Amino acid sequence: MKNTIDNIKSEAKFNPTSIKSIYRFDRNSKISYWLLGILFFLIIVLFLPWTQNISSSGSVTSLYQDQRPQQINTINPGRIAKWYIKEGDIVKKGDTIVELADTKDDYLDSNLVERTRDQVVSKEQKLIFYREKINAIESQINAVENNRDLKITSLENKLEQIKRKIIGDSSEVVAAEVDYKIAVEQLTRGKQLYSQGVISLVEYERRTNQSNKTMAILTEKQQKLLNTRQELNILKIDISSAKQDANDKIFKSRSEIATSMGEIAGTDGELAKNKNILANYITRGSQRWLIAPQDGQIIKAKKSGINEIVKEGDMIVEMVPTKVNNAIELFIEPMDLMLIQPGQRIRLVFDGFPAIVFSGWPENSYGTFPGKILMVENNRNENGKFRILVIPDEKEKKWPVELKIGTGAKGFALLKTVPIWYELWRQINGFPPDYYKIKESTKKTK
């Protein structure tokens, strides 16, 4: 006989309570209530706020160029003589990294700096000699001018004396001419008187003698006057000769001064050249040692071993500075560029730091760090995106101190807060997020 429900119920060995607990043939379903509740919950969720965002990836970098990894290159070619560090060492500013040795023949002399300095000293002494020579020549010129002035003054005084002597001699000539004229007249009258027998022969001879004597005196006085005038002319020639001789000596001395000045100018040029060479040698000698420009860690050594030849500008090691102002570089799609502007808030997730991210509810995320956009580049990068720099937001949580340059980072640029139904509608239709501007403070500063 087939078993049915009725048969089962009629049998006394089955407990009716157990049957009611197992089978639901006489119960009402509550699925509709659950569906209505879920539908009501979903409707409420659709009106919850949702923060639109733009996600992008990047890495940790430095805000300043001098804090980023840098190469330490050689300035002069040479060979590696000694290493003072190894990869991974922490160095201080001024620490020696490697010592180089010159390989060019021009710099192999160990006393090159001292010999060049001797050349500089020799040129300086040569300049001193020429300047002393110029001073001596100028003193000589002054002596010649003084001697010339004294001599000319003496000759001019003598010239005045001769001029006065000429005046005296001229007066004597005039007096002698008067005497001679009188003697000639007396002789003429004496000749008439003698022919008339008035005077004796003796008197006539006396008058003749007197006439000859006055004539001789006149001739003497005239000759004396001529000699004095000749002395005057000679004295004038002496004065001109003294001036000419002095001028010749002065012109010759000035020519020597000009020659010495030319030598000084040439020596000055050679001295400047030698000083430049000396400074280059000293600087080159100090550049044999590569010095750490700032505190940091040596991470890469491109050269190894001893006596390895390096060229000018070759990279020796790479160094990461110890003090770094961290910043994040992110790359934004060109389509989202208009939604990004300086000062905008952003949430960051760093590699190695656990985080639970709710992109639409940033306040409920865990392990994220705040930041704000400092700069948006105006030029597209090689990857076809635009780079932005993000700095810490000092008003909120600080970034981890363990961050290293190059650590991966992911950013969420926070945009406008909208209902979830609006965000779903936007995503379905492929519309971009809503664009908005940061509200600037309108308060006036007193």
Residue 438 lies in a domain: no
| Average confidence (pLDDT) over 66-88 | 85
| Average confidence (pLDDT) over 152-171 | 86
For residue 364, the 8-state DSSP code is G
Burial 6-20, CB ≥16 within 10 A → b, else e: eeeeeeeeeeeeeee
Reduce the DSSP state of residue 405 to 3 states and report it. Answer: coil
Q: Are 123 and 271 in contact (CB under 8 A)?
A: yes
Residue 198: pLDDT above 70? yes
**Across the strands, what pairs with 99?**
82, 289
Q: Write down the pLDDT at residue 441.
A: 46
Q: Write down the pLDDT at residue 214.
A: 86
Tokens coding 25: 């043939």
Is pLDDT larger for residue 366 or for residue 147?
147
Residue 440 lies in a domain: no
Query: End of a domain among 304, 321, 338?
Result: 321
Residue 442 lies in a domain: no
Residues 182 and 120 in one domain: yes
Tokens coding 52: 């639109």
Mean pLDDT of the chain: 80
Residue 436: pLDDT above 80? no
Residues 371 and 417 in one domain: yes
Q: How do residues 311-326 score in pLDDT, each as one tens digit?
A: 888 888 888 888 888 8
Q: Write down the pLDDT at residue 179.
A: 84
* Confidence label for 435 from pLDDT (cuts 50, 70 and 90): low
Q: Write down the pLDDT at residue 445.
A: 45
Residues 278 and 184 in one domain: yes
Domain limits for position 212 = 112-286
| Average confidence (pLDDT) over 103-120 | 78
Residue 445 lies in a domain: no
Q: How do residues 277-298 score in pLDDT, each as one tens digit?
A: 888 878 777 778 888 888 988 8
To 5 degrees, how large is the angle CA 247–CA 251–CA 254?
140
Is pLDDT larger for residue 7 or for residue 399?
399
Residues 188 and 122 in one domain: yes
- Among 337, 341, 360, 332, CA closest to 439: 341
Which residue type sits at 288? R
To 5 degrees, how large is the angle CA 197–CA 198–CA 202?
85
Which of 52-56, 112-116, 117-121, 368-372 shows the lowest mean pLDDT across its residues?
Answer: 52-56
Distance CA 289, CA 293 (A): 12
Residues 203 and 233 in one domain: yes
Listed in sequence order, the residues at least 6 apart from 158 whose beta carbon sits closer than 8 Å to its beta carbon are: 235
Which of 26-35, 84-93, 296-305, 356-365 shows the lowest mean pLDDT across its residues?
Answer: 356-365
Q: Write down the pLDDT at residue 446.
A: 42
Is pLDDT larger for residue 385 or for residue 194?
385
Count of structural domains within the chain: 3
Share of the chain above pLDDT 70, in %: 84
Distance CA 213, CA 230 (A): 25
Q: Write down the pLDDT at residue 434.
A: 60
- Among 351, 334, 344, 335, CA closest to 57: 351
**Bridge pairing between strands 345-350 and 369-380:** antiparallel
* Confidence label for 152 from pLDDT (cuts 50, 70 and 90): confident
Distance CA 24, CA 33 (A): 18
Burial 326-335, CB ≥16 within 10 A → b, else e: bbbbbbbeee
Q: How do residues 400-431 score in pLDDT, each as one tens digit?
A: 888 888 888 888 876 666 677 776 777 776 66
Is pLDDT larger for residue 352 or for residue 20?
352
CATH number, domain containing residue 295:
2.40.50.100
Residue 446 lies in a domain: no
What is the four-CA torsion angle of 270, 274, 277, 279, rounded to 10 degrees? -130
Distance CA 73, CA 300 (A): 12
Q: Write down the pLDDT at residue 196.
A: 80
Residue 107 lies in a domain: no
Residue 16 lies in a domain: yes
Residue 442: pLDDT above 60? no
Residues 86 and 135 in one domain: no
Residues 85 and 150 in one domain: no
| Average confidence (pLDDT) over 217-229 | 86
What is the four-CA torsion angle of 11, 14, 19, 25, rounded to 10 degrees? -10
Helices (H) and strands (E) in the chain, counts: 6, 14
Residues 335 and 272 in one domain: no
- Among 137, 129, 134, CA closest to 249: 137
Residue 22: pLDDT above 60? no
Tokens coding 332: 């934004």
Q: Inter-axis angle of helices 201-286 and 112-196, to 10 degrees? A: 170
Residue 202 lies in a domain: yes
Q: Write down the pLDDT at residue 366.
A: 61
